Amino acid sequence: MSINVKVINDSANELPKYETSGAAGLDIRSSERCTLYPGEIELVSTGLSVEIPEGYEIQVRPRSGLAAKHGITVLNSPGTIDSDYRGKIGVILVNHSKVPFLIEKGERIGQLVLNKVEQIKWEPVLILSDSDRGEGGFGSTGK
């Protein structure tokens, strides 16, 4: 099933696309050239603006190849593009390596994944039901 998402492309890049038939994410490309230095965080422009249907979001996720080979990842992974946002999509990248990384115009810097979302309707109560885990927090189920 496909969902129509309106897009404005102010870059010279092709629109994001699925690289294989079974891919969950569309590769998104940089619309600028920049160098990401070790430990540096950079908001990299894509030149894209979208209109996502209500009830959906687009998540911005890292590309595994950039992470494994170069230590480059999306800092706020996954980032969320809300259905009411109309500005340019930027990807917040961080360089966890010890060497600078050159990002060329048109380079694939992240992935976009469309997800259906539900909104919460709070139900205030005084007591929550019991569960096997209970109040066990971080690390309570093992390593």
Q: Where are the domains of the chain?
A: 8-116
Segment 95-112 mean pLDDT: 98
Percent of the chain with pLDDT over 90: 90
All residues at 6 or more sequence positions from 13 whose CB lies less than 8 Å from its CB, including other chains: 29, 30, 31, 46, 47, 105, 106
Parallel/antiparallel/unpaired status of strands 108-116 and 26-29: antiparallel
pLDDT of 30 reads 98
Residue 133: the pLDDT is 81
Q: pLDDT digit string (tens) for 14-35?
A: 999 999 999 999 999 999 999 9
Residue 141: pLDDT over 80: no
Please tell me the class of the 8-116 domain. Answer: mainly beta
Q: pLDDT tens, 44-91?
A: 999 999 999 999 999 999 999 999 999 999 999 999 999 999 999 999
Q: Write down the pLDDT at residue 136.
A: 76
- d(CA 77, CA 49) in angstroms, rounded, equals 19
Question: Does the structure show a pLDDT above 80 at 132?
Answer: yes
Instruction: Please say if the pLDDT value at position 116 is more than 90.
Output: yes
